[in-house]
Amino acid sequence: MPSAADSAWLIPVLPLIGALITGLGLISFNRTINRLRKPVALLLISCVGAAAVISYTILFEQLGGAPPVEHLFVWASAGDFSLPMGYVVDPLAAVMLALVTTVALLVMIYSHGYMAHDKSYVRFFTYLAIFSSSMLGLVVSPNLLEIYVFWELVGMSSYLLVGFWYDRDGAAHAAQKAFVVNRVGDFGLLLGILGLFWATGSFGFQGIADGLATAVSSGVVPGWAALALCLLVFMGPMAKSAQFPLHVWLPDAMEGPTPISALIHAATMVAAGVFLVARLEPLYSQFPSVGVFIAVIGTLTCFLGASIALTQMDLKKGLAYSTVSQLGYMMLAMGCGAPVAGMFHLVTHAFFKAMLFLGSGSVIHAMEDVVGHEPVLAQDMRLMGGLRKKMPITAITFLIGCIAISGIPPLAGFWSKDEILGQAFQAFPLLWVVGFLTAGMTAFYMFRLYFLTFEGEFRGNDEAMQAKLMAAAGKSVDEEHAHHAGSLHESPWSMTLPLVVLAVPSVLVGLLGTPWNSRFAGLLNPEEAMEMAEHFSWGEFLPLAGASVAISVVGISVAVLAYALHRIDLGELVAARFPSVNAFLANKWYLDAINEKLFVRGSRKIAREVLEVDAKVVDGVVNLTGLLTLGSGEGLKYFETGRAQFYALIVFGGVIALVVLFGVLGGPIA
Amino acid sequence: MLEFAVSAPFDPAADIAAGIIPAQFPWLSLSILFPIVGSLMVPFIPDQGDGRQVRWFALGIALTTFLITVAAYLNGYDPSFSGLQLSERVSWLPNLGLTWAVGADGLSMPLILLTSFITTLAVLAAWPVTFKPKLFFFLMLAMDGGQIAVFAVQDMLLFFLAWELELLPVYLLLAIWGGKKRQYAATKFILYTAGSSLFILLAALAMGFMGGGTPNFEYAVLAQKGFSTSFQLLCYAGLLIAFGVKLPIVPLHTWLPDAHGEATAPVHMLLAGILLKMGGYALMRFNAEMLPDAHAQFAPLLVVLGVVNIIYAALTSFAQRNLKRKIAYSSISHMGFVLIGIGSFSALGTSGAMLQMISHGLIGASLFFLVGATYDRTHTLQLDEMGGVGQKMRIMFALWTVCSLASLALPGMSGFVSELMVFTGFATDEAYTLTFRIVIDGLAAIGVILTPIYLLSMLREIFFGKENAQLASNTNLVDAEPREVYIIGCLLVPIIGIGLYPRLMTDSYRTAIEALVNRDVAAMETISRPTAPMIRNPSLAPALLQAPKLPSPGAT
């Protein structure tokens, strides 16, 4: 019986076909296609929807114990080298397929409302479909090289979507930064893939792991080289999953439309790095020191993201740093040798963070009617407040997201984060302390976001504050935007429906991963799940879980005291006493400044100097030779008068004459 | 008629025995002579002087030539055969040893197709030319024939003639239709290339006369001569300079930014699409194929020069403020991969070099066409004077984006496959020491970071951001017209086709490259005392060779 897994190739191909049709349409019949909004949206949503149906069928097959399916064909060959491409469907891929198609589908429905007033609505949907296609292709890739192919393609989609509003300078810079920083990661990934291929002769995940083990044990590949290769490959996930110090692109990428932030920069693409590390588990499990490195980077990222999120005033930036922090948790799990825990957090995080981002989009959508289409104003929480009364659905789903990410049982985030912290406690107690403290910070900054946005009095009409913000951003107050004077309102159904749908898994999906009976682990790694269930004891679980919940509650309480009840003034209590710490956090650890100074300006300077050398030295020598040959102090003038043609013809004629001469003379002599 | 009498010794049966398949129909001669004859008829086309009739005529000739080459490929060419095919030989000037010998193998057939394809599109790109249109299209068609001849001829003296013959049209096209500094650029171009091609002549004569007897310049004969190593080294060095100017290799490249900076769009397409490939083709054909012993000594130099090309040109491109020059330097950067591929002793790497030439031919032509089309609207090439152009030219923006992504080797497009093949081929190339391979691959991979930096900041400066008010008020920024979309579309079809399934192209030259590489590897293994320390020490060879032979269970 043909199983759904055999038609898994359709999953990435369907959205691609949709994107091709509309993309070609946009190029050839721009105006007509731009008018056909509903048909285009319907076509692309049904493509992704069909992909979702297949994905869920596959997921249920895999849950039912179907064997993994792999289909390959020879893509390129030369000499004795041949490179297979194709697709693989196993439990890991099945989970990701279901996740990506779900979020993509909901985000597309949401975008129908969010982008309704945008003149590039059709282009946006086309890009969304291209992204979905590449992301799904990445998920079903059977080897590292194919992963690399789709890795770049999701990066390209991200570039196109971050720069979607290309008339904004911020978007233009952010898109370029995202692509280039990711290329830095890809640089390592590519070299790592090449090196691993050199060492093992394989691109397949298992093939690489087995080959490298053999090569190291037989001494063909020295241990340090194997380690270096593993770390090089890890550079890819570091950039894509925004790990320190390559995380700098992700907060800037919030310049893109909010549905994109939810889909690409929270739920799916940024998780690709974590996914790749999970795929490479057979390789990384051989090198404990690589695990330590990954865990340390993950913890550092986790702490860095949370600490910066504490002071952010931009709603989306706050969420972005929260994403950075949560990705750090996932990497920490990978480093602890617990890919199942990391993947589980990836899944739960995808649901609640997508919901949070879509919620923030709903807020921004409403704010734009009051303060105008100016991201500096529409996204700043100093102008929000009291939105719950006007937009109850958004507020409630946002609150659910906050509880879920803070790790309050029984919501999704509790189970996944607690499992990671439990693993870290056993593997690296020191890192556990950091992760534990970060959990408290997470709870605090999330509720800070919630209270500032949805509770208290609405501050959106405070013109003095508006002017101040615009001045701080270095923009002039635009008269057109200044008096938009609409009123707040709940978003249309197409935007609230995805929020409500996402709230369900945000609450419930964690129950699939309870440590005493983890269905999730049972799907990905049945043996580990059995072991977990056997070794589970309430005596071990309760103290750790209790501690995590307690610190979250502390974080929430501080937020309540500071922002809901206004009993304590954190600005006076902390920020004023430790101005350097505050400045350090507000300036995002000064990392952007260092980047700007060291890499951006540095590379420009080097490039200018090389060009200078090229123009003056290399070309100068040539022109000098020309001068000397012509025996004229004003040789260059010759070049610019018509007479130079004459000289050139003489040279050419001379060459021809030489041919004939040599031919005639040469013939008889030889 | 004497010539034909002498042609008796060319016995078809002997040819087949020597691994050469004679042509059933003179496809190649036809594809060379047809456009040349066509170009000679241009003066007789009734035309009012604005080029409306003559451009249709030129398009017809170019298209027919393209169809002839396609027919040659389909009817007379067998990709699985590594030797010479479609071979025609007519003794021309026997005293000189000059033979009209044409033929095609895996090295030349893809480039012949590329030439006729790009030229056809260049003629279409030249639609708006109204200044001396007859002369313009005459030169374009003459170049078409000349360039096909460069790739198709099988006689070194003939090759030299074809090589020189193609310089003249380029010179005139530059000098008459170029930009402000066209005289300077054209002169520089002709001095550079004509000067360097003296080395071709010298090498050809030396190789032809070497060993005494009737001079014979046919490739097949030259390849059999078995020159001494020192003689090979001498010829190799000369030819490297000649072809290095064309490719170009840093520091012999300075003619290129000037020539590209001044040329008009159709000439650009030919310069970037075909002329640069003549250098790469010739390096493979002569240096690698005929002088294998010298190649074994020189290969590390090629690789190092390739890396220099990639990084040096990428940096200069980044600093350039002139759009045309920026793309010109990016061409130089991309040709670095060709050098690395040729310098590697692996079928994969050399195959990648070949694919990179084809791929860059397509991508470079498309980018330069877009530069021209943009200039027609903005009337400036300075990036500082542009900005926000994407507001009005949305389709143009889309085309630019796609072609730039192709150029920065996005997967799914041909550039990615070819660069990957070069990377992988070189990384697994056991001829070099491990340290050398790590350093080279690492440095070449820096190009992977630099390319998007300069291409994306270029896009940002042209199209993103607020509209440049001064530019918008002074110029008429109309969006791309169907003709322009069509040209880019034609170029994108093979770019994406190869990117999705590279064997479409690689299978057509695979066997020839493998034969070439085997020859070079054999030569490399016989050198007892390598001059370059980067080449492996022969005694270490067995240990290193065992490294990659591990079976890969997951690969089937």
- DSSP, residue by residue, A595-659: HIIIIIHHHHHHHHHHHHHIIIIIHHHHHHHHHHHHT-TTHHHHHHSTHHHHHHHHHHHHHHHHH
Which contiguous run of DSSP H or E holds residue A84? strand A81-89
A418, A469, A664, B130 from A464: Cα distances, Å: 44, 9, 93, 61
Cβ neighbours of A27 in B, within 8 Å: 395, 398-399, 485
Contact A281, A233 (CB under 8 A): no
Query: Average of pLDDT values for B464-492?
Result: 83
d(CA A363, CA A374): 14
Strand partners, B88: B102
**DSSP-derived 3-state class of residue B137:** helix
For A385-411, what is the mean pLDDT? Answer: 87
Of the candidates B68, B262, B300, the one whose C-alpha atom is nearest the C-alpha of residue B170 is B262
B210 in A contact zone (CB under 8 Å): no
Distance to chain A for B490, nearest Cα, Å: 13
Whether B552 and A200 lie within 8 Å, measured CB to CB: yes
CA atoms within 13 A on the CB side of B189: 31
Please choose, from the candidates B185, B161, B68, the residue with its C-alpha nearest in 3D space to the C-alpha of residue B115: B68
Could you tell me how many residues make up chain A?
670
Report chain A residues whose CB lies below 8 A from the CB of B517.
79
Would an 8 Å CB–CB cutoff place B332 in contact with chain A? no
Choose among A85, A70, A49: nearest CA to A3.
Answer: A70
* B212 contacts A207? CB cut-off 8 A: no
B 479-498: CB under 8 A from A:
485
What Å distances lie between residue A340 and A97, A408, A417, B169, CA to CA? 16, 21, 12, 66
Q: Considering only the beta carbons, identify the residue of A156, A173, A667 that sits closest to B410.
A: A156
pLDDT > 90 in chain A, percent? 21
Whether residues B554 and A663 touch (CB distance < 8 A) is answered with no
Whole-angstrom Cα distance, residue A333 to residue A335? 5
Q: Give the pLDDT score at A357.
A: 92
B187/A639 Cβ within 8 A: yes
Q: State the smallest CA–CA distance between residue A592 and chain B in angstroms.
A: 17
- Taking CA A558 as the corner, what is the angle to CA A557 and CA A560, rounded to the nearest 5 degrees? 60
Chain A within 8 Å of B394 (Cβ-Cβ)?
Answer: yes
Residue A246 to residues A78, A186, A250: CA-CA distances in angstroms? Answer: 36, 11, 9
The pLDDT assigned to B17 comes to 56
CA distances from A328 to A135, A342, A402, A650 (A): 21, 10, 18, 70
Residue B6 pLDDT greater than 60, yes or no: no
Q: Is B475 exposed, middle or buried (0-12, 13-18, 19+ CB in 10 A)?
A: middle
Distance of residue A52 Cα from the nearest chain B Cα, in angstroms:
24
CA A142 to chain centre: 21
Q: Is the peptide bond before A257 cis (omega within 30 degrees of 0)?
A: no
**B476 close contact with A: CB closer than 8 A:** no
Q: Phi and psi for A35 in degrees, rounded to 5?
A: -80, -25
Mean pLDDT score across all residues of chain A: 83
- Distance in angstroms (rounded) separating the CA atoms of residues B406 and B404: 5
Place of tokens 């003379």: A665
Which positions 261-300 of B are in contact with A (Cβ < 8 Å)? none
- Which of B95, B397, B503 has its CB closest to that of A76? B503
Residues of B (296-315) whose Cβ lies below 8 Å from A: 312, 315
CB A301 within 8 A of CB A247: yes
Confirm if A94 and A111 have CB atoms less than 8 A apart.
no
Q: Specify whether the CB–CB gap between A58 and A90 falls below 8 A.
A: no
The sheet with strand B20-22 has its strands ordered as B20-22, B84-93, B98-104
Q: Is the pLDDT of residue B495 over 70?
A: yes
CB contact under 8 A, B460 and A84: no
Residues B397 and B389: beta-carbon distance below 8 Å? yes
Residue % of chain B over a pLDDT of 90: 21
Q: Which of B249, B334, B235, B331 minimizes the C-alpha distance to B288?
A: B235
- Closest CA of chain B from A337, distance in Å: 23
Q: Provide the pairing of β-strand B20-22 with B84-93.
A: parallel
pLDDT for B2: 34
Residue in A186, A194, A207 nearest the CB of B427: A194
The residue of chain B nearest to residue A222, with distances taken between CA atoms, is B547
Q: Measured between CB atoms, which of A84, A168, A651 is closest to B191?
A: A651
Going by pLDDT thresholds of 50, 70 and 90, the confidence category of residue A660 is low
Residues B68 and B80 sit within 8 Å (Cβ to Cβ): no
What is the Cβ-side half-sphere exposure of residue A66, based on CA atoms within 13 angstroms? 21
Name the token pair of B381. Answer: 């090439």
Residue B474's pLDDT band (cuts 50, 70, 90): confident
Among B28, B30, B32, B37, CA closest to B57: B37
Structure-token pair, residue A413: 């985030």
Element (H, E) at A602: helix A601-613
Q: Find, in chain A, the residue whose alpha carbon is nearest to that of B411.
A: A149
Nearest CA in chain A to B518: A79
- Say how far apart CA A162 and CA B242 lie, in whole Å: 46
> What residues of chain B lie within 8 A of the CB of A160, using their CB?
401
Question: Smallest Cβ distance to B191: which of A81, A220, A648?
Answer: A648
DSSP-derived pairing of the beta strands B84-93 and A69-78: unpaired
Q: In chain B, positions 498-517, which contact chain A (CB-CB < 8 Å)? A: 501-503, 506, 510, 513-514, 517
Rounded-to-integer distance, Cα A478 and Cα A635, Å: 57
pLDDT in tens, A42-75: 899 999 999 999 999 988 888 888 888 888 888 8
How many inter-chain contacts (A to B, CB under 8 Å) are there? 268
Residue pair A477/A376 in contact by the 8 Å Cβ criterion = no
CA A192 – CA B521 distance, rounded (Å): 27
For A522-576, give the secondary structure using H, E and C. HHHCHHHHHHHHHHCCHHHHHHHHHHHHHHHHHHHHHHHHHHHCCCCCHHHHHHC
Residue contact B517–A198, C-beta within 8 A = no
Average pLDDT estimate for B119-135: 88
Q: How far away is chain A from the Cα of B503, in angstroms, using its nearest Cα?
A: 6
Tell me which of A317-331, A491-505, A578-592, B344-358 is least confident. Answer: A578-592
Q: How far is A400 from chain B (nearest CA, A)?
A: 38
Record: contact B453-A84, CB cut-off 8 A: no
Nearest CA in chain A to B509: A78
> Could you tell me the CA-to-CA distances from B206 to A636, B201, B203, B228 in Å, in that order?
35, 8, 5, 12
| Amino acid letter for position A367 | M
d(CA A653, CA B114): 30
Chain B residues whose CB is inside 8 A of the A221 CB are 547
* Contact between B191 and A642 using a beta-carbon 8 Å cutoff: no
Choose, out of A231, A662, A665, the residue to mutate when testing the contact with B (most B CBs < 10 Å).
A662
- How many other β-carbons are positioned within 10 Å of the β-carbon of residue A445? 28
Q: Is A474 helix (H, G, I), strand (E, B) or coil?
A: coil
A180 and B191 within 8 Å at the Cβ level: the answer is: no
Amino acid type, A572: E
Partner-chain contact A618 B441, CB within 8 Å: no
CB of B164 within 8 Å of a chain A CB? The answer is: yes
The reported pLDDT for the residue numbered A635 is 43
Interface predicted TM-score of the whole assembly (ipTM), two decimals: 0.85
Note the pLDDT of residue A625.
Answer: 66
The shortest C-alpha distance from A153 to chain B (Å) reads: 7
Which residues on neighbouring strands pair with residue B87, listed in sequence order? Answer: B22
Contact present, B159 and B185 (Cβ < 8 Å)? no
Residue B185 has pLDDT above 50, yes or no: yes
Q: How many CB atoms lie within 10 A of CB A536?
A: 15
Q: Do A76 and B550 touch (CB under 8 A)?
A: no
Instruction: Look at B552 and A204 and tell me if their CB atoms are within 8 Å.
Output: yes
| B348: closest CA of chain A, how far (Å) | 5
B27-41 vs B109-125: helix crossing angle, rounded to 10: 20
Q: Nearest to residue B30, comparing CAs of B79, B73, B69, B77?
A: B69
pLDDT in tens, A408-454: 888 888 888 888 888 888 888 889 899 999 999 999 999 988 988 88
List B residues 220-239 in contact with A (Cβ-Cβ < 8 A).
none
Q: Hey, is A75 helix, strand or coil?
A: strand
Q: What is residue B228's DSSP assignment?
A: -
Where does the pLDDT of residue B540 fall: very low under 50, low under 70, confident under 90, or very high at 90 and above?
very low
Inter-chain residue contact A79 with B160, CB threshold 8 Å = no
Residue position matching structure tokens 């903005």: B378
Contact (CB, 8 A) for A403 and A549:
no
pTM assigned to the model:
0.87
Confidence (pLDDT) at B59: 92
Tell me the C-alpha to C-alpha distance, in Å, between residue B148 and each of B68, B156, B189, B538. Answer: 12, 15, 21, 41
Cβ contact A520:A347 at 8 Å: yes
Task: Report the residue of chain A nearest B435, measured CA to CA.
Answer: A225
CB atoms A190 and B467 under 8 Å = no
Give residue B34's pLDDT: 92
The reply to whether residue B181 touches residue A172, judged by beta carbons under 8 angstroms, is: no
Calpha distance A657→A651 (Å, rounded): 10
CA pseudo-torsion sign A302, A304, A307, A313: negative
Least confident of A1-10, A260-269, A585-594: A1-10
* Structure tokens belonging to residue A116: 């309704």
**Count of CB atoms within 10 A of residue A78's CB?**
28
Instruction: Determine whether the interchain pair A214/B550 forms a contact, defined as Cβ–Cβ distance below 8 Å.
Output: yes
A314 DSSP assignment: B
Question: A interface mutation test: which of B401, B420, B490 has the most A CBs within 10 A?
Answer: B420
Rounded to the nearest angstrom, the minimum Cα separation between B407 and chain A is: 13
Q: Residue A69: which H helix or E strand, with range?
A: strand A69-78
**pLDDT tens for each residue of A600-638:** 888 888 888 888 877 777 777 766 766 565 544 444 444
